[in-house]
Amino acid sequence: MFRKKALTRIEIAAVLAERWSGRAYDPDRPVERDKLLALLEAARWAPSCFGDQPWRYLIWERLAEPERWRRALGCLTEGNRRWAFRAPLLLLACADSRFRDGRPNPWGPYDTGAASMSLAIEAMALGLMVHQMGGFDAGKIRAEFAIPERYECMAMMTVGYQLPEDQIPDELKEREYAPRSRRPLAESFFMGEWGNSFEP
């Protein structure tokens, strides 16, 4: 697997350092059912406010349901469709806007993001690649798949195996090889007071 390990000041867990959002999927290598099950179990066991588990996922398998998969692909922006069409699995993460008892749940998107990250980390551990996408038409996918109003469509994602490095298409090479970067720690993490940068 082509790796783009995060540059960290200190060693972190390999699955975290090595997770990255690739675009070059192997279209001929489906995701095994037990691996999909493992991804969903990882998401299911994410933490959530009051244990309410606000996440819901819609899953489309290209080989099993090509027509539905194509309709889901059609909800992505053109830029995302250009590479996502190779992925054998498409997912949509939705967040319940209400708790079980009907009160509004402001943490629904937060908890759903945690579940998606758990899924992405499990994928990394299994040698799979996940790429989350905000670039999709939420109204269109809601209408296409009759998603109830109380669920917010948060992100779509591709899941699959990476293409062998010598098969990465030319049009993807630049982005696949671009270095990963993050703001310095001091700009995101404050000790005690806002703006008081963390210093190791």
Ligand X SMILES: Cc1cc2nc3c(=O)[nH]c(=O)nc-3n(C[C@H](O)[C@H](O)[C@H](O)COP(=O)(O)O)c2cc1C
In angstroms, give the least distance from the CB of 158 to ligand X: 9
Please state the separation of Cα 189 from the chain's center in Å: 24
CB 197 within 8 A of CB 187: yes
Size of the residue set binding ligand X (CB under 6 A): 9
Radius of gyration of the chain (CA): 18
Q: Is 118 in the site for ligand X (CB under 6 A)?
A: no
48, 80, 118, 158: which one contacts ligand X (CB under 6 A)?
80
Alpha carbons within 13 A on the beta-carbon side of 149:
0
In angstroms, give the least distance from the CB of 102 to ligand X: 27
Which amino acid is it at 70?
R
Query: Inter-axis angle of helices 33-44 and 108-125, to 10 degrees?
Result: 140
CA 76, CA 79: separation in Å to the nearest integer?
A: 8
In angstroms, give the least distance from the CB of 192 to ligand X: 29
Q: Is 159 in the site for ligand X (CB under 6 A)?
A: no
* CA distance readout (Å), 80 to 19, 32, 187, 195, 199: 19, 24, 30, 36, 38
In angstroms, give the least distance from the CB of 156 to ligand X: 8
- Using the contact rule CB under 6 A, the part of the chain among 67-75, 132-140, 142-150, 160-168 near ligand X is 132-140
Between 91 and 133, whose beta carbon lies closer to ligand X? 133
Between 50 and 189, whose beta carbon lies closer to ligand X? 189
Q: Is 97 in the site for ligand X (CB under 6 A)?
A: no
Binding site for ligand X (CB under 6 A): 20-21, 80, 132-135, 155, 180
